[in-house]
Amino acid sequence: MATTSDLANGYPALPEAIADFAQSLLAKSPRTKTNYLSALNRFQEFLPSVGLDPATVTTDQLPAEVLERFYTWLLQTYGRDRRLTAVAYASEVRAFFRFLDRRRWLNPNLSYEHVKDGLRELIGRLHYKTPRVDDAVALIVTYVQSVPLPPNDGRNRQRRLEILRDRAILLTLYATGMRRAEIARLDRADVQDGRAAEGLITGKGDKERVVFFDEGALAAIRVYLKERADTYAPLFLRHDDGRGKPGPRGEHWRLSPQSVWLVVKKYGKLANVEVTTHHLRHLKARVMLNNGAQLSEVQDILGHASPETTKRIYAPYTTQHLRDAFDRFSLPAEELARRARLDLDRRD
């Protein structure tokens, strides 16, 4: 970490600042930390193109337009067809600038807000493809429920536990609309061993939110935990031969987000459906919207930080509801004119 002796004129060199930033990410998920540091590696590759040595430049020497020039460099390096990748890298380095601003390590004439606004104006408005999720995605949920359980004996125990676990995972994904990382992070205490209809989780951006379970998901969780017959904390465990020792409270056996993704892909293939964990999340949102839920309600259930995110992604699914509202609440000009004439007649 940067100390007073490391600082030149009160400002650290970029490598020391990045090391301090990495320390500040300890509370983030490993994947989030990896993404941030990968983006900063690209940022250091870019700096020589603007005459800055990434090994010696101090944070106060970073110019006001450096993030904008970094974004432009990313587009030139990777191509405009990788624009979303460029936006992701620039946004992750922007978080580093927010960290520098908190530490008062930016040039005194420069603020994080200035850097952020410049980048936002350069990027402009992004156009996201609206997710098209077919009802057939639900087939993997019904498929896993139809898989026969092998006999409850020692030879089949591993396979039996995996099927029960996978049922609980798929039913929970569909019921809650949770992300795969959120599913992997669940502890059995979060759902009171399948007895709690709702639970408080830590989602994307380390934000807490309440998620809701239906009886089908809770029943599958209860059956799985009863079959496990252990006291390990993670809700979903590995059951393969290569899992090693359980570690404290079974933490080393916790199923990873990637393994959750693989479970979904596995049953998608078996059910002949193209599906990912996010497809189940989109399906949950679409079903709710098309059955009358408000965008603001879906925003809270899915854990979107901004209502704009929900609106941008899912608003097309509400077109029919808007049409219904349009038909219900609109009036023809003739009707308004008739009412106006009646009012005039009453006044006379």
Tell me what the mean pLDDT of segment 32-50 comes to: 91
**Can you tell me the distance from the alpha carbon of 43 to that of 86, in angstroms, rounded to the nearest whole number?**
11
d(CA 222, CA 193): 6
Residue 343, pLDDT score: 80
114 is catalytic: no
Provide the pLDDT for residue 4.
Answer: 42
Query: What is the model's pLDDT at position 276?
Result: 87
Residue 183 CB contacts under 8 Å (≥ 6 apart), including other chains: 169, 172, 173, 236, 257, 260, 277
Using the CB atoms, write b or e for 310-325: b if 16+ within 10 Å: bbbbbeebbeebeeee
The mean pLDDT of the chain is 84
In this prediction, residue 19 carries a pLDDT of 94
Which residue did the predictor score with more confidence, 118 or 269? 269
Asked if the model's pLDDT at residue 80 lies above 70, the reply is yes
- Per cent of the chain over pLDDT 90 is 43
The mean pLDDT of 321-325, rounded to a whole number, is: 59
**Would residue 281 show up in a list of annotated catalytic residues for this protein?**
yes
**What mean pLDDT is predicted for residues 304-321?**
60
User: Is 239 a known active-site residue?
Assistant: no
pLDDT at 152 over 80: yes
User: Between these two residues, 91 and 134, which has the higher pLDDT value?
Assistant: 91
- Residues 16-43, mean pLDDT to the nearest whole number: 87
Q: How far apart are the first and last CA of the chain?
A: 85
pLDDT tens across 236-294, in order?
Answer: 999 998 899 999 999 999 999 999 999 999 999 999 988 888 888 888 887 787 777 77
* Catalytic residue chosen out of the listed positions 281, 282, 284, 286: 281
pLDDT at 156 over 50: yes
47-76 pLDDT tens trace:
999 999 999 999 999 988 988 899 999 988
314 is catalytic: yes
Residue 145 has pLDDT above 90, yes or no: yes
Q: What percent of the chain has pLDDT over 70?
A: 85
124 pLDDT band (50/70/90 cuts)? low
Please give the pLDDT value at position 164.
Answer: 97
Higher pLDDT, residue 236 or 126: 236
Highest mean pLDDT out of 115-124, 140-149, 278-287, 326-335: 140-149
Residue 14 CB-density burial (10 A; 0-12 exposed, 13-18 middle, 19+ buried): buried
User: What angle, 0 to 180 degrees and rounded to 10, lies between the N-to-C axes of helices 157-176 and 215-228?
Assistant: 160
Split at pLDDT 50, 70, 90, the class of 223 is: very high
Catalytic residue among 33, 103, 157, 204: 204
- Note the pLDDT of residue 318: 53
Among left, alpha and beta (phi > 0; psi -120 to 50; other), residue 229 is left
Q: Are 11 and 60 in contact (CB under 8 A)?
A: yes
Buried b (16+ CB within 10 A) or exposed e, 126-148: eeeeebebeeebbbbbebbeeee
Of 145-154, 156-165, 195-204, 327-336, minimum mean pLDDT range: 327-336
Burial class for 115, CB neighbours closer than 10 Å (0-12, 13-18, 19+): buried
Please give the C-alpha separations between residue 140 and each of 91, 239, 270, in angstroms, as whole numbers: 35, 21, 8
Q: Could you tell me the two tokens for 251?
A: 């933490």
The angle that helices 83-102 and 66-78 make with each other, rounded to 10 degrees, is 160
5 has a pLDDT exceeding 50: no
The per-residue pLDDT for 317 is 53
**Would strands 198-202 and 208-212 be described as parallel, antiparallel, or unpaired?**
antiparallel
Per annotation, catalytic residue among 42, 94, 167, 179: 179
**Which entry of 222, 228, 278, 311 is annotated as an active-site residue?**
278
Q: What is the pLDDT of residue 129?
A: 52
Q: List phi, psi (to 5°) of 200.
A: -95, 120
Q: Is the pLDDT of residue 335 over 80?
A: no
